Amino acid sequence: MLAYIIRRLLWTPVLLAFAAFFVFMMGSIAPGDPAELVLGPRATKASIEKQRERMGLNDPIPVRYIRYIGGVVKGDFGDSYNYIGRTVLEIIGPKLWVSIQLNIASLIIAVVIGMPLGFYAAKRQGTKSDPAIVIGMLVLYAMPVFFTAPFFILFFAVKLHWVAAAGWNGFFSTQIILPAMTIGIPGAAIFVRHMRASTLEVIGQEYVRTARAKGMSSFVVNYRHVARNALLPIMTLLGFTLAGMFGGSLIVELIYGIPGAGRASLDAIFQRDFPILTALVLLGAVMLVLANLIIDIVYTIVDPRIKLQ
């Protein structure tokens, strides 16, 4: 197990270096000459050439890549082409933080709805409520955020006036509820599906029967023996689900007018500010890889039955 963890820890930086290389290459084949973008349309040829030299654009690709990754390690993703004089990190930092908060809120909603419902469906296997929950959640899962987001705005904000229709006011405000629900409900569907499957797996185990045979109350059996063990494999899903929700949150941010990574990446594309876009993509990958790494390691420690080679 230790060997596995060490191998994962050694491979992760290599993986991220390759990811950075990919992103760097995409950035360098992106349309537009960065020097021209920085200087604006009225720049002369000579000044553009000078700017290219200053930005190091005339160096060979490997040199530029090493310089790029050297900066990235220190948290320097270069300068924005559009907001002159500001670093990429200054611009995307706050926006990324907004997206992270939104995603955490959504994950909480997904877990709080999904886990108990999946557990309940598994306990009710053979009755009508099990397939009803499964199909109902599949309907919700398939529902595109394009539908839920405008529907929530129209119903809860425009019609009922419970919350503001759009905008961002921090994690602890009512405005986060609608977007977080929009992202969290399809996420909950994923948890229901897997929680149900893993509960069904545990419920048939012999130690559960033993616990029952010993005369333990069904509450204790359910929560100490079944739910706890059923939760273990779900942990590995967290990273995967978070990645899926992150994609959904880009759209949700646009519809709800939240100043997060989604808005930032779209603006970056249309302003040809590719350092911002590539930094966002790379940071997304870093967060995803690290989240999965931590989850996998914790998983191997928490569940001693896992033997990975």
Partner 1 sequence: MGFAGLIIIIFIYSLGIFAPVLQTHDYQAIDLSRTQHAPSAENWLGTDRAGRDLYSRVIWGIQTTVIITITTLITGSLLLGVTMGLVAGYFRGWIDAVIMRVGEVISAFPDILLIILLAATLRPRIVNFARDIEDNTGISGLVSSGVVDYIVIGIALLPLTWFGMMRLVRGQVLALREAEYIEAARAMGMSTPKILFRHILPNVVSPVIVAVSFGLGGVALSEVILSFFGLGVQPPRPSLGVMIGDVTARTGSGSVSVLRDHPEQLLAPIIVVWLMIFCWNIVGDALNDVLNPRAR
Q: Point out which residues bind partner 1 (CB under 8 A).
A: 15-16, 18-19, 22-23, 26-27, 29-31, 138-139, 141-144, 146-147, 149-150, 153-154, 158, 165-166, 243-244, 246-248, 250-251, 254-257, 265-266, 269-270, 274, 277-278, 280-281, 284-285, 288-289
Q: In terms of CB distance, is 79 or 253 closer to partner 1? A: 253
Q: In terms of CB distance, is 285 or 295 closer to partner 1? A: 285
Q: In terms of CB distance, is 198 or 222 closer to partner 1? A: 198
Minimum gap (Å) between residue 197 Cβ and partner 1? 9
32 torsion bin: left (phi>0), alpha (psi -120 to 50), beta (else): left
Minimum gap (Å) between residue 166 Cβ and partner 1? 8
Minimum gap (Å) between residue 248 Cβ and partner 1? 8
Q: How far apart are CA 207 and CA 210, in angstroms?
A: 5
Q: In terms of CB distance, is 192 or 221 closer to partner 1? A: 192
Q: In terms of CB distance, is 143 or 208 closer to partner 1? A: 143
Three-state secondary structure call for residue 87: strand
Minimum gap (Å) between residue 50 Cβ and partner 1? 25
Say which residues have a Cβ less than 8 Å from residue 102's Cβ, sequence separation at least 6: 176, 179, 180, 183, 249, 252, 253, 258, 260
- Listing DSSP states for 27-86 in one string gives HHTSSS-HHHHHH-TT--HHHHHHHHHHTTTTS-HHHHHHHHHHHHHTT---B-SSSTT-
- Is residue 250 within 8 Å of residue 262, measured between CB atoms? yes
